[in-house]
Amino acid sequence: MRERKAAPAKPTHKEGMTRATLHPHDACPSDLCCHGECWCVPREGRRPGVLPLRLLGLAATGLALAGVVLPLLPTTPFLLVAAWAFARSSPRLDGWLRAHRRLGPVLADWEARRAIPRYAKAAAGVSLPAGWLALWSAGVPMAVAAASGAVMLVAGLWILSRPS
């Protein structure tokens, strides 16, 4: 009788992925591809798109830090972009951002209660109308001034509607 050839062995992991080591009571993060087992922890150095996310996070962190001292530059939106980018690209930088003495509390308030600090609301309340007046006085077409004013009004109302 002829011997059957053994079927090729199935790969033990997906290409570029390693098996996650989770405690049995931990859930696999929902933004990873988990289907029964958690095979979805990317190997270090093989994750596509990590460098652009880290660069985006660093740039957003720089702008957020500048927004702490510059009254017309918002801090919270840049901080949220940085937190999003670091959470997907660098646990070390994500931890640093959350432990930062100036930015960490703002990020924690946002994540806990979706809160924006009073000083940031006051800065937005001054800078949004000032920005629109600067546009209007620069002589931009009326359609651009109206569209910008509408966007700034909606953004300002949204900011004021958040808890402090």
Per-residue pLDDT of the chain (164 residues; tens, 9 = 90+): 556 555 555 444 444 444 444 444 445 554 454 444 444 544 555 567 889 999 999 999 999 899 888 767 778 889 999 999 999 999 999 999 999 998 899 889 888 998 888 888 888 888 889 889 998 999 899 999 999 999 889 988 988 999 98
User: Does 130 lie in the same domain as 76?
Assistant: no
Asked whether residue 42 is domain-assigned, the answer is no
User: Does 123 lie in the same domain as 88?
Assistant: no
Asked whether residue 32 is domain-assigned, the answer is no
Tell me what pLDDT residue 23 has: 47
Counted domains in the chain: 2
User: Does 104 lie in the same domain as 75?
Assistant: yes
Asked whether residue 156 is domain-assigned, the answer is yes
CA distances to 38, 47, 75, 154 from 85, rounded to whole Å, are 22, 14, 16, 26
Tell me what pLDDT residue 4 has: 58
pTM tops 0.75: no
Asked whether residue 23 is domain-assigned, the answer is no
The whole-angstrom separation of Cα 110 and Cα 79 is 10
User: Does 156 lie in the same domain as 105?
Assistant: no
Tell me what pLDDT residue 34 has: 47
Tell me what pLDDT residue 73 has: 78
User: Does 54 lie in the same domain as 103?
Assistant: yes
Asked whether residue 130 is domain-assigned, the answer is yes
User: Does 101 lie in the same domain as 122?
Assistant: no
Asked whether residue 106 is domain-assigned, the answer is yes
Asked whether residue 18 is domain-assigned, the answer is no
Contact yes or no for 117/164 (Cβ under 8 A): yes
Q: State both tokens at 99.
A: 């432990």
Contact yes or no for 71/35 (Cβ under 8 A): no
Tell me what pLDDT residue 68 has: 81
Tell me what pLDDT residue 14 has: 46
**Domain containing residue 124:** 118-161
Residue spans of alpha helices (H) in the chain: 50-69, 76-89, 91-99, 103-113, 118-137, 142-161
User: Does 125 lie in the same domain as 100?
Assistant: no
Asked whether residue 21 is domain-assigned, the answer is no
